[in-house]
Amino acid sequence: MTTKRADGAGDGFYPLAQPEEGLAQLLPEIILSEKPYPIAALIVNHANPARSLPNTTKVEKALAKLELLVVIDVQMSETAQMAHYILPESTYLERLDPLIVSTRLVSEVALRQPVVKPLYDTKPATEIITGLAQTLGLSRFLGFAVEETIQAQLKTIGLTLESLKKSGVWQGKTELTQGPPRFTIPSGKVELYSEALMAKGFEPLPVYEPPRTMPDIHAFRLLTGHEAMHTGTATQGNPYMAALSKENTLWIHPARAARLGIENGNLVIVTSPTGQVRVRARLTEGIHPEAVFLAHGYGRDSKLRPFAFGQGGNDSALIADQAEPLVGGAALGETIVTVRRG
Amino acid sequence: MPRYGMVIDLTKCVGCNACTVACQMEWGLESYEHWIRVLSSEDGIYPAVTRRFLPVQCMHCERPTCVSVCPTGASYKRRDGLVLIDQDRCIGCKYCMVGCPYQARIFNKKIGVPEKCRFCVHRIAKGVTPACVMACPVEARTFGDISDPASEVSRLIIQRKAAQLRPDLGNVPNIYYIR
C-alpha cells in the first residue's frame, strides 16, 4: 500500500522537491483544507511549526484542528504547549543518534554518543518512535534499534559501529579537493540549463519573474533571517544566548524612519496582512530603504522559557504562507508591511 | 621565556560570539559575565555599508595600568606575559577596573573581586590553545609566543601588519589585530 505524500513533494504538484525533506510549510493549508486528504494526527520531533512556519495564526489554527498532536522535544516549545501529549526527549548529551552525514567537499560521517545517562525520565526520539511503532503494530517498518540503523548506514562505507565509537568522526577520500567537483546529476556540472527542469515542464534556464508583491511609498518589504547567536526557534530560551541577543529589532533605513517620526530604539508596530508585532526600531544604513528586516525566532509565548518569553516580535506572525511554484519552498520575501510608532 | 600573545583577524570575524560563550563555559561564568565582548560598528551610506566586529578582552599589556594602580599587588604581570589577579590579595577596590583603558574587567559580586580573561592559563600550561581560539569557527584567533620570531603569531604580526588597539595609550598590549 502506498499513499501519496500530502504535500506533493517528489510527485504531484512539486515533482522536483525532495520527498525526504518534505514541504512542512504547506502543512497548515493541507490540514485546514483537507486536500488532498484529511490529516487527523501529527507527530512532531524536534521542530516548532507553531513558530518556525510562516503565518502563525493559520499554523496554530491548523494544529488546533488536529485530533491528535504529539510532540517529542527537549523543551517546552509553542508547539509542545498545544500538544495533547508531550513525550520528553533526552538531550543530545544523553542519547545515541543516527549518523550525522556531511557532504561537503570532504565527506564526513560523525557519531553522536551519550556522555551521561539521562538525568530525568526521558528517552531518545528513536526509542520513542520504535516504541510507538511496536504498540501500533508497525514494527515491520520501524521496529529496529538505533544501533541497527547506524550499522546499516555504516555498511555502505565499510565501517563498524565499534570502530566509529573510537574515532568519533570518519572522513572520506580527499580527492574531491584536488580538481573540480563532480555532481551526481547527468551532466556532472553546475547546470545553468537544466534538463531536469525541462523534463518536468519548467523553463530550463532561469527567467526573471517580477515579485508577486511590491511595496508602495508608505509600505515596506519584510525581510527575515537568522542571527549567528541563535538556532531557529530553539535557543532563545538559553540564558547565555539571551544575554548576547535577547530581542530582535526592526532594521529600518534612517531616511524612511525620519519620515515616520521613528527614532532609534523607539517601539514600533509592524502590521502585515496576517498579523502584527511590536518591536524596537534599529535605524541602520545596512538595509534597503524599501525594506525592513526582522530576525527570526523571537516574540515567544511559552511561559516555561522565561528568558525568551515576550522578548521581541514573532516574524512568522507577519509572513504570509506562500509557496514558490518550482519546488514549493516557502516564499519568505513576498510580505508587505506597514510601520508606525507604537 | 615565552611572551604569550594573540592575533585576531578582524577580516575573518563574523561577530558570532562563539569565543565569548566558549570562555564562559571554560571558566564556569554566569550568562551575564562576559570576559570577551564583541563590539560592532557600522560605516557608510546605503548601499556601500560595512559592518565590523571587534572582540575585546584583557590585552595582557606589557605596561598594564591595572598592575600599576593596584594598591595591594593583587594584579600582577607574569614573566611569560600573562596579567593575572591574586584573589586572596585583592580588596575589591576596583581601581584596576577604572584604570583599564580597554574596560576588560568585570566585577564578580559573589567573591568581591574583579575578573577578566586569563589567557586560559591552565590550558596553555598543558600546551593546549585557549578556549576562544579553539571555538572560533572561522579561525580568526591565533595564540602563541610573540618573542619567538618563527611563531605563527609573529609571522602574522609582520606579514599581515597586525596592530595593537589604541597603541597611543601606551599600555603595549599583547593582542594584535589584523584589519
Tell me whether B13 touches chain A (CB under 8 Å): no
User: Chain A partners of B42 at a C-beta cutoff of 8 Å?
Assistant: 284-286
Q: A220-341: which CATH number, 2.40.40.20, 3.40.50.10490, 3.20.20.20, 2.40.160.20? A: 2.40.40.20
Give yes or no for residue A221 having a pLDDT over 80. yes
Tell me whether B12 touches chain A (CB under 8 Å): no
DSSP state of A123: B
- Taking CA atoms, what residue in B is nearest to A230? B16
Domain spans, chain B: 4-178
Q: What is the mean pLDDT of residues A247-272?
A: 98
Distance between CA atoms of residues B176 and B165, nearest Å? 7
Substitution target in B25, B26, B31 with the highest count of A β-carbons within 10 Å is B31
- Among residues B86, B94, B84, B62, which one has the least CA distance to residue B169? B62
Tens digits of per-residue pLDDT, A29-50?
Answer: 999 999 999 999 999 999 999 9
Give yes or no for residue A2 having a pLDDT over 80. no
Each residue's pLDDT expressed in tens, for chain B with a length of 179 residues: 999 999 999 999 999 999 999 999 999 999 999 999 999 999 999 999 999 999 999 999 999 999 999 999 999 999 999 999 999 999 999 999 999 999 999 999 999 999 999 999 999 999 999 999 999 999 999 999 999 999 999 999 999 999 999 999 999 999 999 99
Give yes or no for residue A275 having a pLDDT over 50. yes
Tens digits of per-residue pLDDT, A194-208?
Answer: 888 898 889 999 999
Residues B39 and B116: beta-carbon distance below 8 Å? no
Quote the minimal CA–CA distance from B28 to chain A in Å.
Answer: 12
CB contact set of B102 (below 8 Å; sequence gap of 6+): B56, B57, B58, B59, B165, B166, B171, B173
Residue listed under C-alpha cell 508606525: A340
- Among residues A25, A22, A81, which one has the least CA distance to residue A316? A25
Residue type, B140: A
E strands of A160-240, at which residues? 169-171, 220-225
User: Chain A partners of B106 at a C-beta cutoff of 8 Å?
Assistant: none
Q: What DSSP element (H or E) covers A57?
A: helix A56-65
Q: What is the mean pLDDT of residues A130-141?
A: 92
Helix then strand then coil, in percent of chain A rounded to 5, is: 25, 20, 55
Tens digits of per-residue pLDDT, B104-136?
Answer: 999 999 999 999 999 999 999 999 999 999 999
Residues A218 and A271: beta-carbon distance below 8 Å? no
Among B20, B24, B51, the residue with its CB nearest the CB of A286 is B51
| Furthest-apart CA atoms within chain A: distance in Å | 66
Q: What DSSP element (H or E) covers B25?
A: helix B18-27
Quote the minimal CA–CA distance from A272 to chain B in Å.
Answer: 25
CB contact set of A208 (below 8 Å; sequence gap of 6+): none
Whether A285 and B44 lie within 8 Å, measured CB to CB = yes
Domain spans, chain A: 220-341
What top-level class would CATH report for the domain B4-178? alpha beta
Q: A285 φ, ψ to 5°?
A: -75, -10
User: Chain B partners of A285 at a C-beta cutoff of 8 Å?
Assistant: 42, 44-46, 49
Quote the minimal CA–CA distance from B17 to chain A in Å.
Answer: 7
- Taking CA atoms, what residue in B is nearest to A229? B16
Give yes or no for residue A85 having a pLDDT over 80. yes
What are residue B50's DSSP bridge partners?
A: B43
pLDDT band at A1 (very low <50, low <70, confident <90, very high): very low
- Pull the grid cell for residue A303: 511561559
**In chain B, which among 47-66 make CB contacts under 8 A with chain A?**
47, 49, 51
Substitution target in B23, B25, B32, B46 with the highest count of A β-carbons within 10 Å is B46
Q: What ipTM does this complex have?
A: 0.93
DSSP state of A12: T
Whether A244 and B17 lie within 8 Å, measured CB to CB = yes
Strand order in the sheet with A41-45: A41-45, A68-73, A85-88
Distance between CA atoms of residues A308 and A296, nearest Å? 13
